[in-house]
Each structure stands twice: as structure tokens, then as C-alpha cells.
């Protein structure tokens, strides 16, 4: 069997969709296409071969041919001032080419590079979009992430790298995998080896000792009442305030996270007492705080006229308590941020720790405009299909305009 050609060959320099030094080297040594002394077919063939080595190299040619579309999308930025002041008739005035005016002397709008948009359907693929949003160091790796079930589209697992994203789709990748893909690779050290061995031993021990799986804990009864009884409410409030005290006493970045966790639990319970609170509406810390405050205020307002016992109602939540609760929520937020930002040495991580970007990443780091990325949760939204606009094509392609044109012409054949 014929030997498979090298993926990164120095003999035939090919630009690939990855962040490797070979790709960087070939990018630096690219030349515009040689059009003199070659037949048109040869030119087209070379252009096709070079561009296909970069765009969707993992897709079979036949599949790509079916994806190819000769209609290339484009937009023109409009000036609303111009639209408001003119109705377009001024362009027809004068001697056919519009009335002479000073405005006509402006420089003409730049050319719209349609020919760089040949491969725009490939940018719609999930694996390519993951690579473009800087969550993976190559398209092949992005593809692997999909196949391994690390990618979600709109909150649902999507194991198909060929899924065509629709405008408005949100995709997210497991943050630890992203840190692995974009971080510097780990060097095996003796400590790491020791840690790995200890872990394996611990796991084996746990497996041996593993008790019979106990009966699943009873799910908590869903609160069916519209509103909690005052006694219940009071008890919950006491619990909550106790946890607040605990959290306030704890330092941010403390080793023992139990108190923070307990506080989160009580807040969740306190919120779930009310039927009006669904987990979707009261999901952020601010929303939780506002909700608790409002609910208690309402309760208080309802209780006061009927019973007229100010002592009883103030016991629910005094302004000082409110202040404290606010502080506790702030502390909770700080704590999470601190834990996330804490970039410490960690032998169990699959990347070099403390985390740092991998070599040559900065030369490839750009995010095209058709994606909106939130790096801290490793999620992105595919806003729209890539478009060409005057002077700018949104498909990131490393090739010369002429190469793009030749490749486009190759695929126009028989279409």
C-alpha cells in the first residue's frame, strides 16, 4: 500500500488548520500563485489542492462538493443618515450617471472580496466553529472533542462534528478540555508519576472496599404550597442567617469550602419554598437575593395589617440581616472567582500547571465576527453565517485572493 503522505511535510509545505510551528513556517513561506507558464487547469488544480489542505481537510472531497455553493453571501453597511436624507432619486438625476456633486469625488468603496468566501459552508460546521472560537488547537482536536461527547449545542450533547450550526446556536466545550487543548503540554515529572500511582492505588482500594450500592436517597418532596407557613419560614431564615455568619467568618480562598457549599444549599432551599420561583428565573446570585428580599417583604406586608405585630415581622429579616445577606452573596461570588482564577500547581491536571497558553498560540489567536465567545465559560454563539463586506471577507483563509478565485472556479465545474 502506498505510504500516507506526512500531515506536516517540509517537502510540500501545506498550511493546516492548527496552531503548530509547521503551519506557522508554511504561512511565513507562502507565495502568491504562479500563473505564468502554467495551464489554467494546472493553476486551478494547485489552488484547489492547497486550499483543501486547509479548509475541511477532514471532510471527504465528495462531501465538500455537495456542500459547495456558488452563491456567496455578502452585506453592505448602510448609513442611516444617507437613507433618511435621500430617497435614491438623486442617483438618477443628471446625465445618466447621477448629478455632479462634490460627494462623488469621494474614494470609491473598496472591492468586496467574494472570492475569499469559497469555503464559507465549512465554517458552519461544529468542529470548525470550535476551532475558530479558540477552544481547540486544531480542527482535528475539535472533532475529537465532539466525538468524545465534550461539546454541547444549546445545552444538549452533540456528538456529530459535522453538525451544521444555525444562526443563534450556542455551543459549549468542557472548560478542562479547553484548558488542556490550549495550554502548554505537560512534561512528565517524577512528582506527577508519583501522584498518578497514588491515585491509581487509591482507586483500586476504593473499588475493593466498595459497599453495595445503597438505595437511592428519597427525592425531596416537591413543594406544592403556594407559600410557606410562617413557622417554617422563620426556621429557614434562622438557618440561612446562621450560614451567613459562617460564610462571613470564612476567608476567601480558604481550603475548606464546606461552609460556602452549605450556604449555597440553604439559599437553594429557601428559594424553593416558594412555588413562584422556578430554577430558571432565580438562577444568578443577584436574582436569588432580589427574590428572597421581595418575597420576605411581601410576606411582611401581608402579615402586618392582619396581625399588627411589628416585632414578629421584623424578626423575619431586619435591615442589618439584609445587609449581611448581601455581603454573604458578594463573598460567595468572590470565592467562586478566586477559586477559578487560582492558577496553582496541580500534578493531576492534564496540562502544564500553572496554566499558560501553548507555544505559538498568539500567532493564530483571532476570533471572526460571526462568533461571539465567552471565554470564561468556554461557550460561544454562532451569530450568523460568515459574509463578505467591502474590503473584508469573514472566512479566515490564509490564501491569496487569486488562489481563492482559482479554487472557486475549480468547483464551478459542471455546476
Partner 1 sequence: MPTRLRASNLPSTVFPCSSIRPQSIPQPARISREFSQSSCRQITQRRRKFYEWMNGPGRMLKDPLPHSTNYLGAYDKFGNLIRGTFQPKDAKDATPKAEAAEGVEGVEAKPDTSSEGQESADDLDAAVSRSEREEMQKKEDGTEEGRLVPETLEDLRPFPLNRYFRSQPVLSEELREAIYQFVKRDGHSLQLASTTFGVSNERIGAVVRLKQMEKEWIAKGKILAIPYAKAVLDMLPTTPHVKERGKRAITHEPINDLIVHPATRQQLFVPVAESRHFTRVDAGKAFDNNLLPADERIPHPELIAAEKDNIDGYSVSERQRRAQERLEAEMAEKNKKKEEKRQAELASTKTVPQRRWDFVFQDVSVDSVGRNGRDPKGVGWRYGLPHQDRKKGQVKIPTKVEA
Residues 73-92 that bind partner 1 (CB under 8 A): 73-81, 83-85, 87-89, 92
The residue among 109 and 310 lying less far from partner 1, judged by its C-beta, is 109
Q: Are 33 and 403 in contact (CB under 8 A)?
A: yes
Q: Choose between 102 and 341: whose C-beta lies nearer to partner 1.
A: 341
Contacts (CB under 8 A) with partner 1, residues 92-121: 92, 109-110, 113, 116
CB of 332 to partner 1, least distance (A): 8
The nearest distance, CB 257 to partner 1, in angstroms, is: 8
- The residues, ordered by sequence, that sit 6+ positions from 385 with a Cβ below 8 Å of its Cβ are 73, 120, 123, 124, 167, 370
Q: How far apart are CA 341 and CA 334, in angstroms?
A: 10
In the bound state with partner 1, the residue whose beta carbon lies nearer, of 285 and 303, is 285
Q: Among residues 34, 49, 101, 154, which is the contact residue for partner 1, using CB under 8 A?
A: 154
Minimum CB–partner distance for residue 155 and partner 1 (Å)? 8
B/e letters for 307-343, b = 16+ CB within 10 Å, e = fewer, are eeeeeebeebbeeebeebbeebbebbeebeeeeeeee
Q: Which is nearer to partner 1, 169 or 250 (CB)?
A: 169
Among 166, 229, 318, 327, binds partner 1 (CB under 8 A): 166
Nearer to partner 1 (CB atom), residue 313 or residue 393: 393
Q: How far is the CB of 233 from partner 1 (least distance, A)?
A: 22
Closest CA to 330 of 361, 299, 288, 372: 288
Whether the Cβ atoms of residue 143 and residue 58 lie closer than 8 Å to each other: yes
Q: Which is nearer to partner 1, 125 or 299 (CB)?
A: 125
Size of interface with partner 1, in residues (CB under 8 A): 111
The DSSP-derived string for 16-60 is -SB--HHHHHHHHT------TTS-HHHHHHHHHHHHHHHTTTTS-
Q: Quick one: which of 223, 230, 350, 368 contacts partner 1 (CB under 8 A)?
A: 368
Total Cβ atoms within 10 A of residue 268: 12
Q: Is 191 in the site for partner 1 (CB under 8 A)?
A: no
Q: Count of CB atoms within 10 A of residue 404's CB?
A: 23
Options 72-80, 185-193, 217-225, 317-325: segment touching partner 1 (CB under 8 A): 72-80
CB 295 within 8 A of CB 274: yes
Residue of 101, 242, 359, 412 interacting with partner 1 (CB under 8 A): 359
Q: Is 169 in the site for partner 1 (CB under 8 A)?
A: yes
Stretch of 195-203, 217-225, 237-245, 358-366 contacting partner 1, by CB under 8 A: 358-366
CB of 391 to partner 1, least distance (A): 6
DSSP 93: S
Residue 338 backbone phi and psi in degrees, to 5: -65, -45
Distance CA 56, CA 404 (A): 15
Q: How far is the CB of 183 from partner 1 (least distance, A)?
A: 8
In order of 183, 200, 358, 361, the CA distances from 352 in angstroms are: 7, 20, 9, 15
- d(C-alpha 128, C-alpha 133), whole Å: 9
Nearer to partner 1, 194 or 261 (CB): 261
Of 2, 4, 156, 187, the residue at the interface with partner 1 (CB under 8 A) is: 156
Residue ranges in 50-69 that form contacts with partner 1 under rule CB under 8 A:
none
Select 265 or 318, whichever has its Cβ closest to partner 1.
265
List C-alpha distances in Å: 372 to 143, 199, 326, 378: 20, 39, 32, 11
Cβ 397 to partner 1 shortest distance, Å: 6
Site for partner 1 in 376-395 (CB under 8 A): 376-381, 383-384, 387, 389-395
- Which run of H or E residues covers position 285? helix 285-307
Q: Which stretch binds partner 1 (CB under 8 A): 187-195, 212-220, 320-328, 370-378?
A: 370-378
Chain positions 250 to 269 lying near partner 1, rule: CB under 8 A, are 260-261, 264
Q: How far apart are CA 118 and CA 286, in angstroms?
A: 46
The yes or no reply on residue 396 touching partner 1 (CB under 8 A) is yes
- Alpha-carbon distance of 199 to 193, in angstroms, equals 10
Which residues within the stretch 14-53 sit at the binding site for partner 1 (CB under 8 A)? Answer: 21-22, 24-25, 27-32
Amino acid at each position: 500500500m502506498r505510504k500516507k503522505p506526512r500531515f506536516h511535510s517540509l517537502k510540500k509545505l501545506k498550511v493546516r488548520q492548527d496552531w503548530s510551528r509547521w503551519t506557522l513556517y508554511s504561512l511565513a513561506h507562502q507565495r502568491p500563485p504562479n500563473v505564468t507558464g502554467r495551464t489554467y487547469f494546472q493553476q486551478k488544480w494547485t489552488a484547489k489542492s492547497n486550499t483543501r489542505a486547509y479548509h475541511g481537510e477532514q471532510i471527504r472531497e465528495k462531501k465538500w462538493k455537495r456542500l459547495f455553493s456558488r452563491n456567496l453571501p455578502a452585506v453592505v453597511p448602510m448609513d442611516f443618515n444617507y437613507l433618511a436624507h435621500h430617497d435614491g432619486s438623486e442617483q438618477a438625476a443628471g446625465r445618466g450617471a447621477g448629478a455632479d456633486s462634490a460627494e462623488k469625488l469621494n474614494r470609491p468603496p473598496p472591492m468586496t472580496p467574494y472570492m475569499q468566501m469559497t469555503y464559507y459552508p465549512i465554517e458552519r460546521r461544529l468542529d470548525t466553529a470550535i476551532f475558530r472560537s479558540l477552544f481547540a488547537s486544531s480542527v482535528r482536536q475539535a472533532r475529537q472533542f465532539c466525538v468524545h461527547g465534550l461539546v454541547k449545542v444549546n445545552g444538549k450533547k452533540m456528538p456529530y462534528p459535522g453538525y451544521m450550526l444555525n444562526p443563534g446556536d450556542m455551543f459549549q466545550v468542557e472548560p478542562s478540555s479547553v484548558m488542556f487543548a490550549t495550554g502548554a503540554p505537560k512534561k512528565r515529572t517524577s512528582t506527577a508519576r508519583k501522584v498518578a500511582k497514588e491515585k491509581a492505588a487509591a482507586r483500586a482500594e476504593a473499588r475493593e472496599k466498595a459497599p453495595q450500592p445503597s438505595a437511592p436517597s428519597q427525592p425531596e418532596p416537591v413543594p406544592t404550597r403556594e407559600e410557606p407557613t410562617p413557622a417554617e419560614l422563620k426556621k429557614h431564615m434562622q438557618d440561612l442567617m446562621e450560614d451567613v455568619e459562617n460564610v462571613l467568618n470564612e476567608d476567601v480562598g480558604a481550603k475548606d469550602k464546606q461552609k460556602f457549599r452549605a450556604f449555597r444549599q440553604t439559599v437553594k432551599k429557601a428559594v424553593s419554598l416558594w412555588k413562584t420561583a422556578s430554577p430558571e428565573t432565580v438562577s444568578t446570585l443577584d436574582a436569588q437575593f432580589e427574590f428572597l428580599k421581595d418575597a420576605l417583604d411581601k410576606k411582611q406586608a401581608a402579615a402586618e395589617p392582619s396581625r399588627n405585630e411589628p416585632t414578629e415581622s421584623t424578626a423575619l429579616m431586619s435591615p442589618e440581616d439584609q445587609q449581611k445577606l448581601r455581603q454573604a452573596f458578594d463573598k460567595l461570588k468572590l470565592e467562586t472567582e478566586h477559586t477559578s482564577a487560582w492558577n496553582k500547581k496541580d500534578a493531576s491536571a492534564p496540562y502544564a500547571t500553572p496554566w499558560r497558553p501553548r507555544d505559538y498560540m498568539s500567532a493564530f489567536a483571532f476570533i471572526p465576527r460571526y462568533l461571539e465567545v465567552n471565554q470564561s465559560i468556554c461557550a460561544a454563539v454562532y451569530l450568523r453565517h460568515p459574509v463578505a463586506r467591502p474590503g473584508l471577507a469573514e472566512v479566515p483563509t490564509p490564501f491569496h485572493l487569486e488562489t481563492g478565485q482559482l479554487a472557486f472556479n475549480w468547483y464551478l465545474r459542471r455546476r
